[in-house]
Structure 1
Amino acid sequence: MRNLVRSLALVAVVFLGSQYVSAQQKIGHVNADEIFQMTAEFKTANEQLRTLNDTKTKELQGMYEEFQKKQNDANEKLRNRSEANKTTVDAELQTLGQDLQSMEQRIQEVQRVAQEDLGKKQQELLTPIQTKVMNAINAVAKEKGYAYVLDTSNGNVLYFQGGEDISADVKTRLGIAANATPAAPAVPPAR
């Protein structure tokens, strides 16, 4: 989606700079990310992602707390080691060290899997919404006769003056209330 928008923006700038765009061609602009975050589907997907993220975080916190407990036990055994119990304590410490190393590897694996799961779920939930928003933008652009529509949300449009903001028309097409506010993403976007 971003590559498409960047390509459109680049094409528009090249044509404008080269004086190839005739005065009859209309240029519009829209903040696609803001509209995307205003959709009801995004808000639902966002809650699902937040719930999944919270579940994975709690799981990792439980594992980390168990790791910390074992590490504290090992430190306590080390502090209480004397010449009389050195052999026994050293054997226990070696076992605890192996357990800690194994736990650390499990924690890292669970973190990796959690990030993958979140990324997959994010892709699964957000891709259809992105498609829906892009289809609405394209439909409005065609209806209104725009030759180019620039996306102001991604920062690639360094300057624009004039043109028409078609955001309200796109929101109407998507059934978004005029006074709706964007929802903040529950988790950072997968890259």
Structure 2
Amino acid sequence: MKKILVAFATLLLLTTAVEAQQRYAIIDTKYILSKIPEYRDADKKLQLVGEQWQKEIDDKQAVLDKMYKNYEAEQIMLTDDLKKKREDELFVKEKEIRDLQKKRFGYEGDLFKERQKLVKPIQDKVYNAIQKIAVARVYDFILDKSEGITVIFADPKLDKSDEVLRELGIKN
């Protein structure tokens, strides 16, 4: 019994000693990216492209809405063949709009590809700077407080976001 108690106490002390040696830092990638001019430019460009594509879809939707109104107004006077033809036209136009939305904004759509082209190199640069700091400062963990992981309290002296910006050569 005494041996078990001593073994348990030793294990507890070793665990506490290992935990005390762990080093970590907290960063805010949203803050870091917001300070990088290339990222801001890329983000503005993505917003403009997205707005342009959304306007294209909205214009097509307005045409479809007008086609629907015209069809509803003329429906009583149309023959069955003409009704079927107009309904088919409406269906084709509706499908065209859905396909365009998917192509532009869907998973791995044009906006996603554009984001990968413009933003990913900047994110990789930030990640490499973070990794360089982590290795140089011997951090065991670097937590990102901007998204995903929730940090309820973070000592401000642990926030190394400005250090990452300095590593990237950006003054804040």
- Aligning the two structures, in what range does the TM-score lie when normalised by the shorter sequence? 0.7 to 0.9
Summarize the Cα distance change of 1:23–1:47 in structure 2 as closer, same or farther, 3 Å threshold.
same
Distance 1:91 1:138 in 2: 67
CA distance in 2 between counterparts of 1:158 and 1:50 reads: 29
The answer for unaligned runs of 5 or more in structure 1 is 1-17, 82-87, 179-191
| RMSD, aligned CA | 2.3
Asked if the contact 2:24–2:140 (Cα under 8 Å) also holds between the matched residues in 1, the reply is: yes
1:172 alignment partner, one of 145, 159, 166: 166
Q: Which amino acid aligns with 1:154?
A: E
Report what 1:28 is aligned to.
25
**Which structure has the highest helix share of the two?**
2
Instruction: Name the amino acid aligned to 1:129.
Output: I
Identity of matched residues, %: 27
Displacement, 1:174?
1.9
The reply to whether residue 144 of structure 1 matches residue 122 of structure 2 is no
- Three-state SS of the structure 1 residue aligned to 2:140 is strand
TM-score by length of 1: 0.70
Aligned to 1:52: 49
With the length of structure 2 as denominator, give the TM-score of the two structures. Answer: 0.76
**In 2, Cα distance between the equivalents of 1:72 and 1:24?**
71
In the TM superposition, residue 35 of structure 1 has moved relative to its aligned partner by: 1.0
Deviations for 1:17-54, whole angstroms, at most 9, x for unmatched residues? x4353645532211123212332121111122112111
Please give the residue correspondences for 1:116-131 in structure 2 after superposition, counting only pairs within 5 Å.
116-131=109-124
- Aligned match of 2:84: 94
Which residues of 2 match residues 65-84 of structure 1 at below 5 A?
A: 65-79=62-76, 81=77
- Structure showing greater radius of gyration is 2
